[in-house]
Structures are given as structure tokens and as C-alpha cells.
């Protein structure tokens, strides 16, 4: 690739937002989405914008593209692209810039690609339209670019339709398409959120490389601080429509000067946190609605350092931090706050002691039959095949224990939850609850008491409650169904008690789900799960759809209730940082099999299964002191319909030792009591592994 | 939302109560003010509903009273017995205004009843097909497609001429079993409209349910062992109501047309009841002399149907806005 012909002076910013304000016009009137936003992006620089949902980070990106829809408008300030104000440009000029000088990559790759066009048509269109290239030249450029984004076999990909590619490949194609026009600025809006962790690691590595190879400036929008640390030079932290802190990654990560930034870091599970000894500190209160923002500092009502008369008196401008050039913060009291003091609010708790095994899974299998109704299938007599969603699952969960099941999509963790809940019947083996077999007992044949003692918290808070019924009536239904309470007043009282349990006001019983925030909905989901005195609660990614500050509160709540009721928690997740924080024991699954299991301590330190090792290395950690081993898996997740022979992980394993991996299923090795690994590697190799995550120098925040 | 009477701080021993249902309904109806089109529609519909409700107390002539020799008079003709025939008289000398207003009663009642029954049947078909899937869905969809493959009017004519009041079956009902002929005619219209409309409603509901049933709250209901009927009626159908309210308004308009058309073809309610469609066909025989008596019911039909269509547009417009 050659750098574009346009001279790009290195001292002039590519993009500058000056005092930018953006509003949306809705039924409730004008809603300011972004207020007084400043940002400078220099050539070749990657700037991260981080913030929780509704903070205005995506609005900034759309404003830069000048693509806000009918009801949005820039109400003040300028957006300078190469020194020219985009807000005054004509539609014609904007069209020339969009897609060629500024390109954007969205969260959902499938939504960015046209499903009815071949990849080649979509890629070649870019140079042909923007530069008037011939189709031969466009073909050549496209192939080169696919190669540059490390898509295997570019020629085959070019002739494919989007649905024939995996999610990771699709996102790489989208990035290639964005880079084809050789843009000066690339906007990435949560580009890896829809991808699996190990696939995400590969895409992140690619993004990191872009500015180096192509000299492209980037704006990376994410809610994940770890990803920003891995990809960006500078970072802007946004809260409620304003940037509250701006600086280089090391300035913001190691010497943060805004209470919100610190609150954010205190609520994410970094290595070293522990749910008993060093619990996370959620930010109290809630994000204010855009039309209910408090005067002065918008973070004021949630801030521990709030001083009436100063913090609530507008305007609160962005100030440069003294003795730290390039670092700016929107806080009038940043000089007075003692930043070395440990945050208050974290209450140390005794570790939970476990009881007898409550749930025992013995050699559990779940196969799905796929009928081949094609003529060839009928002629060959092989009318049906089996998808082995769960194969030989074998583990225990004790009273008051949290067992995490970890794995990427298609690993069979949700199938296991379905069997447990009675939505599916197991094909073989046993699932014992208090010694009684339930794997073959569909939910219709279960007694109300059994159903009540085995409950689930769903992943998506926005779907877990029926929007047509009040919150109270949905909890009441559960109580009546399990026979916990019968009379009207008794049910009412129990509903109020459950709301108390999840720390929500009793008046919420009469609200409709749409009047609740995501975190509040998830609390109702938890209240419902604990309505029938559950012995085992399956939590299917209960916090993955929530904002980080809310995640901390919900995990804290789950731990509290577990401590109080001594419930066994089966925690299903793909997020190893949350698992490390919350789980006592971990089961790592890949393509329907358990690859490794052991205590959290055993899983997160060597010896590892090679898959666990890759998973650990793929998890972005928002801590500059952490040194990670760099392992990026090649290839994509195989389809569970067509699993590899031998060891399921052999197609992607960086430690594959030879033919034996392809032909024979590895034995289960017990390396320490309870620590089981399914791998062909000799014991001495496994034991000689180095830790993936290592803590570096201590720094200010750790003090 | 200001629907709560208690503040969220009432957390301790206070027992919160919920706001009245009436105030919530009023507040959601008042949203219609934001759509001018919807307001016009609502005005037209309310106009006819009000007239229909007030018919017995309005100072009207007897809609069935004939006045021999006083036929097909133009508007504002003074009546023989005093008073004025505001909209003239029809081919039997009956007061057009009076028949129009009493006729609105008839059409509104039977159209609403027919639409409601068709909707109930269609929603059950759709929700069972969509939620149960498999053979249930195959059979219900097949049955619906067969019905929809008939031209609707032919279907109606076949059903009514075979089972209506004039048929052998209808005669048997009214003469031998003593059923009221008007009721028989109304019920057979409802049955005919249901056959024609329910499969269309079922299609819409099925599509909505196929999407809704993948939500976690349905899984939550299944996991707590709810019966399929509970899930379909309590968990699924209420969430499909948004698009269905709009569709029901439109559908009510179509059924109004259908009933008028059946009346026009003398397949509707038996004479001498003032049916709008029958009023048109009655006056039509007299060509340009019947123009006045024919135009008013035609205008009544179009204004009511237009009102329902505009109301549906308005509701849709509001529901799409945020």
C-alpha cells in the first residue's frame, strides 16, 4: 500500500471537534446528547472514546460522519476535518469525504455487508467508485487488502456471499472495505463486541496494526477499557454527554484525575480483586436521563467528593491538569482529592464455606438429531446425523459454591443449561439434584417444588421481563406457581420482600418493565429466580449486557444473596475476568466437551490446557501493569455440526504435538486434586508452562 | 413516567398502591392529538358512534314509517305530518335521515361484532400456529390458505345463500325452531366475515408470534412450567397488540364495506331494516330520481370507512414516533 497522494502535514490534526454540541429532537422536546465536546486526532494516532451506554459516544461518531438522521442536529461548535469545518460543507462535499476520507466500521458485521452481493462486488466497488479504477486494478487492490487484513484464501472469500463467512471473517472484510479507500480517519464503533473472545483477539491485533501500516488515524469507540488499552494512544472518557477526562492511555489509566474514571476502574474485575476480600465498588446511583441532568457537574449526585455550591454551579469547564501536559479533566476539585486513598464502600466479607454436593453431573450427553431430507441422504440410508452438543460432562457443584462454565459460542454451555432446566432431555448419563435424576425429566413432569428449587437468570435484561405485565405481577406469578404463597395479601407481602432482597424500592412492583433501567430489570430477574427458595440458580451471562458500573452492583448482589441463602450458582459466561472474580470453580468447555476443570486458582495459573491458555491471553485487561503472553489462535471456531477428529481443539491448537492429536481423543489427566485436563501433552510439558497473566510493577492505583 | 402516585423512596414499611387504570387509558388516548390525520379519523368515527348511540332520543321520524305518495322527495321537504324531511324521503316515502342514523346503529353493531369474532378466531389460529409450530402450524396455515384462495365475495355469497335467512336452512331455523330472522341473518354474516377475515388475521398474528416466542420471558415461562395456553394467551398475545390495534381499525372498515355490499346484494339483514347498502340498491332502481336517497347512504359508508382508515394511520404514526 502506498500512502495517499494528498500531502498530510504531520503537525496538523486530522480531526478536531471544538466545543461540539449535538441534540436530538423527540416528543419530550430537545434532548442534548453531547455537550461541549473537544477532541483532537493527530495523523496516525488512535484515540479511544470510552463510556457507558447513553453517554453519547456513538453520537459523536455519527456527527463526525454527518449522519445523524432526521431528528438529530449539531447545535453548536465545529468539526474540523483537515482544518475545514464539516458542519458548513455541502451535501456534495460530504459525500466525497464519507467512505473515502473517513470510513466507519460498525458493531454488527452482518449488518454492514449486503447479503445478496458477493464480497468481490462489494469490495471492488470502493476503488471503482471513489477512484475510478478499472475492474482489474480494483480486483488486485481488493485481494491485496484482504491479504493485509489476514483473511485466509482471499480469492475464495472474494467469490463468497457474506453468510458463507464466519463473524470474524466478516468483520475483517468490513475493515478491509473501510481501508480500501485509503481513509485518513477510521471510525470503529464497538467493532469486536459481537465476536467471540479468541476471534476478537485476532481482530484487535489487526486494528492495532492499522495505524502503523497505513498511517490511518483511528477513533475507537468501546465500553471496554481493556480493549482501549490494547489499541489506543489516547483516550477520552465520556459521561452523560460530556467528556470528563482526556489524556494519553498511561495518564488516564495510571494517574486518573476524575472521580468517574476512578469509579469505572473500581467497578471492573481486574486481577487482584476478590469478591470476598476485595469486592468491586459499584458507582452508586444511576446515569441521569439526558433531560434530567443535574446542573454543574453531571456526575455530582453519584460522586463521593461532591461539594454543594461548587460542584453544582455551572459551568464546569475542561481544565488542563497541572504538571501533566496533554491531560485534561472536567472536575473543579481534582487538586483537592487524595488520589492514593482506597475507595470507600467496599465491605470485606468472610469467604463462603461450601457444603455437600447439590448438583452432580455424571457423563451427561446431549445429542441433537439432524435429519438429512435431501435425495442423496435418503438414498445413502444415512437419513440423520447427530450433533454432539454435550459430550461426557462430568462435574459437581456444592452448596453455596459458584461454578462457572466458560466457553465461546457453540461450546454447549447453553445446551447444558437447557437440560438442567428441563427444556431438553439428556441423551445419556445422569444429572443429579440432591441425588435425584432430573436429566430425563422435562419441565412438565417436574413438581412445582423442584422447579422452584432450580432456577435461571437470563442474559438479556431487556427480554427477561414481559413488557405487557407489571413487575409485581410477574414476580407474583412465580410465587403462586411454586406454591410459595397463595392468598393475595401473602403474595403481595412476599413480592415486597423479594424487592427488598434485590434492593429495589417496593413501588417498583407497579411499574412496567419499560420504566426500569437494564440493571434494575436484571435485579427483577434475580428476584424472580430466588422466589421459590432456589437451591441451584443458573446465571446465563447475567451481566454481559449491562454497563460496567452496573455489572459490579449486580455481581455484588448475587454474591450477597448467595451468602444469605447458601444457593449453588452455575455461572455461564465467556468473560474470564468476571469468572475469575465470581467463581470458586471453573469448567472450560470447547465444542461440547470439558477441556479443563478445577478451582479458579488452578485454572488461572499453570499448568493450562492450551485452549484455556489462549482464552486467558485473549481477554483484554484494563491494567497497564499486567503483562500478558501473546497467543492469537489461528482459524475460526469449527462448526459443532462437523467437529474435528481426535481432540476437538486440534485445528487451532498452537501446542499440537502431531498425528495423535488428530486421531485420538486425549485422556483426562488429573494434575492436582480436582484439576482435570483433557490433553495429549506430556505432564512435564504441562507443568513447565509459564503464567499467561503476570503483574508488572506496582503503581499508584494498586496502592 | 408520572403514572406513579408513590415516589420511589417509599421503600420501607409503606405499602404502595398503583395509579388508576382510567387515568392511564385517558393519557394514552390523548397521545392521538399529536397526529392531525388520526384526529380527523377519530372525529369521523366518533360522529357516527355518537349518532348511533343517540338515535332513540333524537327527534327523528320512524325509520320504517312509509308515507304513500310522498316518494323520493329532495332535501328539506316539509313532512305531511309536520316537521321536515331534512334529507328527503326514499322510494317508499320513508325519512332518509332517520334511516341513515338508525342504519348506523345496525352497521356499527354488526361490523364490530363480526370483526371481534373474526379477530378472536384469527388470533387463536395465529398464536397456536406460531407458537406450537410443526403439524399445528401446517394444518392451520393450510386451512387458512384454502379459504384465502377463494374470491372473498364468492365465499360470502356461497355461505349466505346456503345458510342465510332466505335459504332452506334459514327457513328451517326461523319457521320450525322459532329463531328471530334478524338474529339469524346477523349470525350468518358474522360467520361469513370470520371465514374471510380470520385467516388474514391469523397470518399477521403468526408472524408476530414467531418473533416474540424467541424472547427470554417466554423461555422463563416455559422454565417455570406454564401451560402452553397460559403462555399463548398471557405471555404472547398482549405483546402483539400494537400492530393488531392498527390492523383491527382497518379491518373494521373492510367489514363495514362488506356488510354494506351484502345489503346491496340483498344478502344482508332482512328488510325493512334500514341497512345502508340496501338503501342504495333500493333507490338506485329509480335512476336519477333516486339520486338523493342513494347518495346519502353512500356518503355515510365512505365517511365511516375513511374515518377508520385515518384513525388506523394516526395510531400507526404515533406508535412509530419516539
Q: What is the pLDDT of residues B251-266, one digit of tens each?
A: 999 999 999 999 898 8
Contact A468 B238 (CB under 8 A): yes
Cα A277 to Cα A130, A272, A273, A346, A352: the distances in Å are: 58, 10, 8, 9, 11
Q: Which residues contact A146 (CB under 8 A, 6 or more apart)?
A: A123, A154, A157, A158, A172, A173, A176
pLDDT for A378: 62
Average pLDDT over residues A179-207: 85
Q: Which residues of B touch A471 (CB under 8 A)?
A: none
Residue A32: CA atoms inside 13 Å, Cβ hemisphere, count? 18
B227 versus B1: which is more confidently predicted? B227
Lowest mean pLDDT among A296-310, A542-556, B67-81, B231-245: B67-81
pLDDT for A266: 86
pLDDT at B182 over 50: yes
Asked if A506 is an interface residue toward chain B (Cβ–Cβ < 8 A), one would say yes
| Nearest neighbour of B4 by CB, restricted to A455, A460, A507 | A507
Minimal CA separation from A237 to chain B, in Å: 28
Structure confidence at residue A70 as a pLDDT band (50, 70, 90): confident
Exposure b/e, A261-271, CB count within 10 A at least 16 = b: bbbbbbbbbbe
- A677, A689 contact by CB (below 8 A): no
Average pLDDT over residues B262-280: 84
Q: Which residues of A touch B1 (CB under 8 A)?
A: 515
- B213, B134 contact by CB (below 8 A): no
Q: Which residues of B touch A501 (CB under 8 A)?
A: none
Asked if A451 is an interface residue toward chain B (Cβ–Cβ < 8 A), one would say yes
Taking one residue from A and the other from B, the number of pairs with CB-CB distance under 8 angstroms is 80
- A186, A178 contact by CB (below 8 A): yes
What tens digit of pLDDT does each residue of A443-460 get?
888 888 888 888 899 888
pLDDT at B316 over 90: no
Contact B11 A500 (CB under 8 A): yes
What tens digit of pLDDT does each residue of B92-103 get?
888 889 999 999
Q: Which residues of B touch A465 (CB under 8 A)?
A: 217
Asked if A520 is an interface residue toward chain B (Cβ–Cβ < 8 A), one would say no
Structure confidence at residue B184 as a pLDDT band (50, 70, 90): confident
Q: What is the 3-state secondary structure (H, E, C) of chain B?
A: CCCCCCCCCCCCCCCCCCCCHHHHHHHHHHHHHHCHHHHHHHHHHHHHHHHHHHHHHCCCCCCCCCCCCCCCCCCCEECCCCCEECCCECCCCCEHHHHHHHHHHHHHHHHHHHHHHHHHHHHHHHHHHHHHCHHHHHHHHHHHHHHHCCCHHHHHHHHHHHHCCCCHHHHHHHHHCCCCHHHHHHHHHHHHHHHHHHHHHHHHHHHHHHHHCCCHHHHHHHHCCCCHHHHHHHHHHHHHHHHHHHHHHHHHHHHHHHHHHHHHCCCCCCCCCCCHHHHHHHHHCCHHHHHHHHHHHHHHHHHHHHHHHHHHHHHHHHHHCC
DSSP bridge partners of A48: A220, A235
pLDDT at A8 over 60: no
Average pLDDT over residues A499-515: 87
Asked if A456 is an interface residue toward chain B (Cβ–Cβ < 8 A), one would say yes
Distance in angstroms (rounded) separating the CA atoms of residues B227 and A339:
57
Asked if A673 is an interface residue toward chain B (Cβ–Cβ < 8 A), one would say no
Distance in angstroms (rounded) separating the CA atoms of residues A182 and A193:
25
In the block, which residue shows the cell 474485575?
Answer: A269
Average pLDDT over residues A534-552: 85
Assigned C-alpha cell, B201: 388475521
Distance in angstroms (rounded) separating the CA atoms of residues B111 and A572:
53
- Highest mean pLDDT among A375-384, B59-68, B300-309 belongs to B300-309
Using an 8 Å CB-CB cutoff, list residues of chain B that contact chain A: 1, 4, 6-11, 14-19, 34, 215-217, 219-220, 222-226, 234-235, 238-239, 241, 321-322
Across chain A, mean pLDDT equals 85
pLDDT for A622: 84
Asked if A24 is an interface residue toward chain B (Cβ–Cβ < 8 A), one would say no
Q: Which residues of B touch A467 (CB under 8 A)?
A: 239
Structure confidence at residue A6 as a pLDDT band (50, 70, 90): very low
pLDDT at B5 over 60: no
Instruction: Provide, rounded to the nearest whole percent, the portion of chain A with pLDDT above 70.
Output: 95
Lowest mean pLDDT among A274-278, A496-500, A678-682: A274-278
Angle, helices A167-180 vs A135-148, to 10°: value is: 130
What tens digit of pLDDT does each residue of A573-584 get?
888 888 988 899
pLDDT at B239 over 70: yes
Contact B217 A456 (CB under 8 A): no
Average pLDDT over residues A25-38: 84
Contact A510 B219 (CB under 8 A): no
Q: Residue A634: left if φ>0, alpha if ψ -120 to 50, beta else—which one? A: beta
Angle, helices A259-266 vs A548-565, to 10°: value is: 40
Residue A51: CA atoms inside 13 Å, Cβ hemisphere, count? 26
pLDDT at A4 over 50: no
pLDDT at A366 over 50: yes
Distance in angstroms (rounded) separating the CA atoms of residues B224 and A422:
10
Structure confidence at residue A381 as a pLDDT band (50, 70, 90): low
A274 versus B157: which is more confidently predicted? B157
Contact A509 B215 (CB under 8 A): no
Contact B219 A455 (CB under 8 A): no
A703 versus A323: which is more confidently predicted? A323
pLDDT for A432: 92
Distance in angstroms (rounded) separating the CA atoms of residues B294 and A150:
77
Contact B223 A459 (CB under 8 A): no
Contact A456 B223 (CB under 8 A): yes
The DSSP bridge pattern shows strands A593-599 and A675-678 to be antiparallel
The DSSP bridge pattern shows strands A536-540 and A454-457 to be parallel
Minimal CA separation from B44 to chain A, in Å: 26
Q: Residue A629: left if φ>0, alpha if ψ -120 to 50, beta else—which one? A: beta
Mutate to test the interface with B, among A468, A484, A498 (most CBs of B within 10 A): A468
pLDDT at A372 over 80: no
| Nearest neighbour of B217 by CB, restricted to A455, A466, A481 | A466
Residue B20: closest C-alpha in chain A: A510
Q: Which residues of A touch B24 (CB under 8 A)?
A: none
Minimal CA separation from A182 to chain B, in Å: 38
DSSP A262-328: HHHHHTS--BTBBTTTB---PPPS-PPPGGGPPSS-TTGGG-TT--TTTTTSS----EEPTT-TT-E
pLDDT at A28 over 90: no
Contact A463 B217 (CB under 8 A): yes
Q: What are φ and ψ of residue A573, in 5° steps?
A: -155, 160
Structure confidence at residue A319 as a pLDDT band (50, 70, 90): confident
Average pLDDT over residues A488-504: 89
Distance in angstroms (rounded) separating the CA atoms of residues A220 and A422:
43
Residue B7: closest C-alpha in chain A: A507
- B65, B94 contact by CB (below 8 A): yes
Sheet with strand A675-678: strands edge to edge:
A454-457, A536-540, A568-573, A402-406, A585-590, A593-599, A675-678, A668-672
Asked if A327 is an interface residue toward chain B (Cβ–Cβ < 8 A), one would say no
The DSSP bridge pattern shows strands A536-540 and A102-105 to be unpaired
What tens digit of pLDDT does each residue of A50-64 get?
988 878 888 888 888
pLDDT for A350: 74
Structure confidence at residue A138 as a pLDDT band (50, 70, 90): very high
Q: Which residues of B touch A481 (CB under 8 A)?
A: 224-226
| Nearest neighbour of A481 by CB, restricted to B9, B224, B322 | B224
pTM here is: 0.81
Q: What are φ and ψ of residue B223, in 5° steps?
A: -65, -30
Q: Which residues of A touch B215 (CB under 8 A)?
A: 463
Across chain B, mean pLDDT equals 85
Reported ipTM exceeds the 0.85 cut: no
In the block, which residue shows the cell 499486567?
Answer: A626
Residue B19: closest C-alpha in chain A: A510
Lowest mean pLDDT among A58-67, A283-292, A323-332: A283-292
Assigned C-alpha cell, A156: 475464495
| Nearest neighbour of A465 by CB, restricted to B17, B19, B217 | B217
Structure confidence at residue A623 as a pLDDT band (50, 70, 90): confident
Q: Which residues of A touch B238 (CB under 8 A)?
A: 466, 468-469
Distance in angstroms (rounded) separating the CA atoms of residues A299 and A334:
13
Assigned C-alpha cell, B161: 345463500
Assigned C-alpha cell, B218: 417466554
Cα A39 to Cα A36, A422, B142: the distances in Å are: 10, 53, 61
Element (H, E) at A499: helix A488-501
Mutate to test the interface with A, among B30, B217, B230, B245 (most CBs of A within 10 A): B217
B17 versus A695: which is more confidently predicted? A695
Q: Which residues of B touch A466 (CB under 8 A)?
A: 217, 235, 238-239
Q: Which residues of B touch A460 (CB under 8 A)?
A: 216
Structure confidence at residue B19 as a pLDDT band (50, 70, 90): low
Residue A70: closest C-alpha in chain B: B321
Write down how long chain B is.
322
pLDDT for A376: 65
Asked if A510 is an interface residue toward chain B (Cβ–Cβ < 8 A), one would say yes
Minimal CA separation from A61 to chain B, in Å: 22
Amino acid at each position: 500500500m502506498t500512502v495517499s497522494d494528498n500531502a498530510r502535514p504531520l503537525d496538523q490534526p486530522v480531526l478536531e471537534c471544538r466545543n461540539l454540541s449535538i441534540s436530538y429532537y423527540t416528543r419530550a422536546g430537545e434532548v442534548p446528547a453531547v455537550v461541549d465536546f473537544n477532541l483532537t486526532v493527530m495523523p496516525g494516532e488512535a484515540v479511544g472514546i470510552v463510556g457507558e451506554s447513553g453517554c453519547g459516544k456513538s453520537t459523536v461518531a455519527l456527527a463526525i460522519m454527518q449522519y445523524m438522521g432526521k431528528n438529530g442536529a449539531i447545535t453548536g461548535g465545529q468539526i474540523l476535518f483537515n482544518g475545514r469545518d464539516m458542519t458548513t460543507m455541502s451535501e456534495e462535499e460530504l459525500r466525497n469525504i464519507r467512505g473515502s476520507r473517513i470510513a466507519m466500521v460498525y458493531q454488527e458485521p452482518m449488518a454492514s455487508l449486503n447479503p445478496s452481493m458477493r464480497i468481490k462486488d462489494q469490495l471492488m466497488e470502493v476503488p471503482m467508485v471513489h477512484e475510478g479504477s478499472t475492474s482489474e486494478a480494483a480486483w488486485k487492490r481488493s485481494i491485496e487488502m484482504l491479504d493485509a487484513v489476514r483473511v485466509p484464501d482471499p480469492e475464495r472469500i472474494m467469490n463468497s456471499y457474506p453468510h458463507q463467512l464466519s463473524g470474524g471473517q466478516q468483520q475483517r472484510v468490513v475493515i478491509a472495505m473501510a481501508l480500501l479507500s485509503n481513509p485518513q480517519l477510521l471510525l470503529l464503533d464497538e467493532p469486536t463486541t459481537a465476536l467471540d473472545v479468541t476471534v476478537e483477539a485476532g481482530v484487535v491485533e489487526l486494528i492495532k496494526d492499522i495505524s502503523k501500516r497505513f498511517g490511518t488515524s483511528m477513533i475507537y469507540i468501546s465500553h471496554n477499557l481493556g480493549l482501549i488499552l490494547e489499541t489506543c494512544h489516547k483516550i477520552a472518557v465520556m459521561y452523560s454527554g460530556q467528556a470528563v477526562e482526556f489524556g494519553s492511555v498511561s495518564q488516564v489509566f495510571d494517574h486518573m484525575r476524575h472521580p468517574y474514571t476512578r469509579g469505572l476502574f473500581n467497578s471492573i474485575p481486574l486481577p487482584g480483586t476478590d469478591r470476598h476480600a476485595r469486592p468491586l465498588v459499584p458507582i452508586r446511583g444511576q446515569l441521569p436521563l439526558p433531560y434530567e441532568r443535574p446542573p454543574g457537574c453531571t456526575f455530582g449526585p453519584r460522586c463521593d467528593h461532591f461539594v454543594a455550591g461548587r460542584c453544582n454551579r455551572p459551568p464546569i469547564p475542561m481544565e488542563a491538569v497541572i504538571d501533566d501536559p496533554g491531560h485534561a479533566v472536567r472536575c473543579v476539585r481534582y487538586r483537592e482529592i487524595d488520589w492514593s486513598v482506597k475507595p470507600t464502600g467496599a465491605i470485606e466479607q468472610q469467604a463462603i464455606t461450601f457444603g455437600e454436593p447439590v448438583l452432580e453431573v455424571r457423563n451427561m450427553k446431549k445429542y441433537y438429531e439432524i435429519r438429512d431430507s435431501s435425495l442423496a441422504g435418503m438414498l445413502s440410508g444415512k437419513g440423520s446425523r447427530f450433533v454432539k452438543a454435550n459430550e461426557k460432562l462430568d462435574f459437581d457443584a456444592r452448596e453455596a459454591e459458584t461454578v462457572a462454565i466458560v466457553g465461546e459460542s457453540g461450546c454447549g454451555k447453553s445446551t447444558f443449561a437447557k437440560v438442567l432446566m428441563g427444556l431438553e432431555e439428556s441423551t445419556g448419563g445422569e444429572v443429579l439434584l440432591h441425588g435425584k435424576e432430573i436429566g430425563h425429566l422435562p419441565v412438565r413432569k417436574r413438581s412445582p417444588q423442584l422447579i422452584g428449587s432450580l432456577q435461571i437468570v437470563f442474559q438479556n435484561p431487556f427480554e427477561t421481563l414481559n413488557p405487557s405485565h407489571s413487575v409485581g405481577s410477574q414476580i407474583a406469578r412465580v410465587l403462586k406457581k411454586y406454591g410459595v404463597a397463595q392468598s393475595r395479601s401473602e403474595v403481595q407481602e412476599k413480592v415486597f420482600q423479594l424487592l427488598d432482597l434485590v434492593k429495589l424500592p417496593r413501588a417498583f412492583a407497579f411499574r412496567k418493565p419499560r420504566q426500569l433501567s437494564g440493571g434494575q430489570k436484571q435485579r427483577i430477574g434475580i428476584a424472580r429466580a430466588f422466589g421459590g427458595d432456589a437451591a441451584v440458580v443458573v446465571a446465563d451471562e447475567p451481566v454481559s449486557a449491562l454497563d460496567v458500573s452496573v455489572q459490579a452492583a449486580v455481581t455484588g448482589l448475587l454474591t450477597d444473596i448467595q451468602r444469605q441463602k447458601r444457593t449453588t450458582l452455575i455461572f455461564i459466561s465467556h468473560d474470564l475476568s468476571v469468572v475469575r472474580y465470581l467463581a470458586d470453580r471453573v469448567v472450560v468447555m470447547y465444542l461440547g466437551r470439558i477441556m479443563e476443570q478445577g478451582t479458579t486458582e488452578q485454572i488461572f495459573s499453570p499448568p493450562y490446557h492450551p485452549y484455556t491458555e489462549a482464552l486467558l491471553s485473549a481477554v483484554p485487561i484494563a491494567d497497564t501493569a499486567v503483562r500478558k503472553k501473546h497467543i492469537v489462535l489461528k482459524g475460526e471456531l469449527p462448526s459443532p455440526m462437523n467437529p474435528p477428529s481426535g481432540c476437538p481443539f486440534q485445528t487451532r491448537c498452537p501446542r499440537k504435538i502431531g498425528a495423535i492429536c488428530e486421531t485420538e481423543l486425549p485422556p483426562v489427566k488429573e494434575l492436582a486434586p480436582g484439576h482435570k485436563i483433557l490433553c495429549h501433552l506430556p505432564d512435564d510439558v504441562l507443568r513447565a508452562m509459564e503464567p499467561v497473566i503476570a503483574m508488572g510493577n506496582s503503581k499508584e492505583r494498586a496502592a | 413516567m408520572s403514572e406513579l402516585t408513590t415516589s420511589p423512596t417509599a421503600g420501607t414499611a409503606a405499602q404502595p398502591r398503583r395509579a388508576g387504570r382510567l387515568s392511564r387509558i385517558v393519557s394514552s388516548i390523548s397521545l392521538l392529538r399529536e397526529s392531525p390525520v388520526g384526529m380527523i379519523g377519530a372525529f369521523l368515527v366518533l360522529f357516527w358512534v355518537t349518532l348511533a348511540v343517540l338515535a332513540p332520543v333524537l327527534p327523528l321520524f320512524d325509520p320504517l314509517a312509509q308515507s304513500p305518495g310522498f316518494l323520493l322527495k329532495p332535501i328539506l321537504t316539509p313532512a305531511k305530518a309536520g316537521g321536515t324531511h331534512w334529507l328527503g324521503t326514499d322510494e317508499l316515502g320513508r325519512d332518509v335521515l332517520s334511516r341513515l342514523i338508525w342504519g348506523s346503529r345496525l352497521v356499527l353493531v354488526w361490523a364490530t361484532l363480526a370483526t371481534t369474532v373474526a379477530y378472536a378466531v384469527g388470533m387463536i389460529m395465529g398464536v397456536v400456529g406460531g407458537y406450537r409450530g410443526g403439524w399445528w402450524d401446517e394444518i392451520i396455515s393450510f386451512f387458512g390458505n384454502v379459504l384465502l384462495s377463494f374470491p372473498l365475495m364468492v365465499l360470502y355469497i356461497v355461505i349466505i345463500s346456503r345458510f342465510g335467512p332466505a335459504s332452506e336452512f334459514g327457513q328451517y331455523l326461523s319457521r320450525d325452531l322459532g329463531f328471530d330472522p334478524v338474529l339469524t341473518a346477523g349470525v350468518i354474516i358474522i360467520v361469513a366475515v370470520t371465514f374471510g377475515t380470520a385467516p388474514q388475521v391469523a397470518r399477521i398474528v403468526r408472524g408476530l408470534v414467531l418473533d416474540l416466542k424467541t424472547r427470554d420471558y417466554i423461555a422463563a415461562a416455559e422454565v417455570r412450567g406454564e401451560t402452553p395456553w397460559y403462555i399463548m394467551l398471557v405471555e404472547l398475545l398482549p405483546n402483539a397488540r400494537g400492530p393488531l390495534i392498527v390492523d383491527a381499525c382497518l379491518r373494521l372498515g373492510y367489514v363495514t364495506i362488506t356488510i354494506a355490499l351484502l345489503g346491496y346484494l340483498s344478502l344482508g339483514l332482512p328488510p325493512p331494516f334500514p341497512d345502508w347498502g340496501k338503501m342504495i340498491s333500493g333507490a338506485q332502481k329509480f335512476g336519477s330520481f333516486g339520486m338523493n336517497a342513494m347518495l346519502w347512504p353512500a356518503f355515510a359508508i365512505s365517511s365511516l370507512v375513511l374515518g377508520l382508515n385515518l384513525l388506523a394511520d394516526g395510531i400507526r404514526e404515533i406508535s412509530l414516533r419516539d
